[in-house]
Structure 1
């Protein structure tokens, strides 16, 4: 436990961790229409790739274009195996010209480091799991930009732009400027938290996941590694895949699906009329009375009455409208994503 999590433990003595999510006891779950929401993102960790070849190395391994990633520009991305299946998904940013950061699900950090580490030996760069020293904080709400401007002299101005300072990195996730992630060393994160928290709604880490679900952003965790190609999570639509960058691990499969294949399963947003559920990512879903799986859960957050989720499903199953988990009669209600899927998809 680094200094930031120790600070939260002392500041909120009734807080606890549940399935990887930090929770404040008796917290309210505010609407994004409120003022400022702060979420300590315990579900995330960091890989640091350091050295003069850090971007060059990652260019040949991941789905995003590192020629466009800088201390001013972040990107969604993933690393795939040779079959085009996602091993890790991440937001990529630069702490400095020779330090790349991958913010990813914490339970994939070690395996991501080990896998990428096999190929970095011939590059002028090193990779390490930096999760013990770095922290991610979710900052959202109508007043998010205004509150951050009181601390940072410069902020990003568009989706996936980033700014860097000695206090840490700010990445803007939406066009409206109402959703940001702060990445920083634990001692800096404590200072940022102390400045923002007095006037903020303190939300559990799972609140941030509800915002991801609403935004249609799926991520790979340990239980869903090697399960999805990027197009199944709509990464070709939301900026997680470059088709002009050249070769990378799994590129042949990903490109073939984009230009010649027919995608049979993709990401959908849905609601389940049940609370208190805790299905892990990767859990199979079924259509009607058929015994064969028609998809897999990507993420789920259970509310007081309903559960919000993202799942990769077949188009036929969505059309049938009878999607459920095994041994459950509760049916999913599929909702519209906040972005359009091109008809070819």
Structure 2
């Protein structure tokens, strides 16, 4: 069972009788569709529709929620949620000692009887499970066997291969719309729910079909250059690399410009490396038939 302890992740808890109503009114995802034992992606947006904080959210008991996020943004995330709390009967806290781990692969459901695990909804059913708790369960290997190939590097390689982007590694907070990073594809945006912060912009992008920046999987003829390297074709910038592992990586690019380059037979490069760009096989969007539409 491949697994990794994600030391750069932590848990923010939201509990109390108003917790679900409070979160439903400000977050992008629809909590009515969040089941027990699953972790779904979501975001808190600016009024302009840009992602301020990204996370995975799961239920924690009767009226509680866990929001798994980057450890370096947790304090700011807590402060922002506190600003929205007003008179809502909720309690907010960061679990500084929380353990966040992940297991993946065909046998990742081996610990389903352990209630501290939640299925990561961004991947196929049972493919990835998240662990939240004060300590690792005894079902995982002992500490002296937790190094080697099955660690964070292997986890990020798996994530990259599946086209799953995360802030910090693939994009900067405050600089991306939910569509840019495929939250509309992974269940991270509820298009049938009521209003939430930034909802008007996101809804307009969805209904007008104006989303042009998308996460694609990049494959190089040789090892890819460093993250943030510009991707170009025919002298025109398409976007930039995000996470990279060897010859493979993620890229947020203008898919209309990618299609123009493909139609013209122009090589696409990152640095001096020729690359191919592909839509993740689970995604439902396609390259546009007509290029040139601009983002919101």
Shorter-chain TM-score: what band? 0.7 to 0.9
Q: How does 1:1-345 map to 2 (within 5 A)?
A: 36-130=1-95, 132-145=96-109, 147-148=110-111, 152=113, 165=115, 168-173=116-121, 174-185=123-134, 187=135, 189=136, 191-194=138-141, 203-221=150-168, 224-275=172-223, 277-279=225-227, 283=228, 285-288=230-233, 290=235, 293-297=237-241, 299-303=242-246, 306=247, 308-319=248-259, 320=261, 322-325=267-270, 328-343=271-286
Q: Which whole-Å CA distance do the structure 1 matches of 2:20 and 2:139 have between them? A: 29
Check the 8 A contact 2:119/2:125 in 1, yes or no: no
How far apart, in 2, do the equivalents of 1:196 and 1:139 lie? 15
Aligned to 1:18: none
Asked whether the equivalents of residues 36 and 58 of structure 2 are also in contact (C-alpha less than 8 Å), the reply is yes
- Secondary structure of the 2:75 match is helix
Check the 8 A contact 1:277/1:302 in 2, yes or no: no
Task: Determine helix, strand or coil for the equivalent of 2:17.
Answer: coil
Q: Quick check: 1:93–1:102 contact (8 Å CA) kept in 2?
A: yes
Cα distance change, pair 335–199 in 1 and its aligned pair in 2 (3 A) = same
**Cα gap change, 1:181 to 1:197, in 2 (>3 Å):** farther
Q: Distance in 2 between matches of 1:56 and 1:344?
A: 37
SS of residue in 1 equivalent to 2:230: strand
> What TM-score does the superposition give when structure 2 sets the normalisation length?
0.83
Q: TM-score, normalised by structure 1?
A: 0.72
How far apart are 1:246 and its partner, in Å? 0.6
Asked if the contact 1:79–1:88 (Cα under 8 Å) also holds between the matched residues in 2, the reply is yes
* Deviation of 1:144 (Å): 2.6
Any conservation in 1 of the 2:163–2:217 contact (CA below 8 Å)?
A: yes
- Asked whether the equivalents of residues 286 and 293 of structure 1 are also in contact (C-alpha less than 8 Å), the reply is yes
Shift of residue 175, structure 1, vs aligned partner: 3.4
Q: Give deviations 1:83-122, integer Å, cap 9, x for gaps.
A: 1011122211011122211112233222222222211132
* RMSD across aligned positions (CA): 2.8
Query: Are the structure 2 counterparts of residues 252 and 206 from structure 1 closer, same or farther at C-alpha, using a change threshold of 3 Å?
Result: same
Give the secondary structure class of the aligned counterpart of 2:202: helix
Mapped partners of 2:8, 2:244: distance in 1: 13
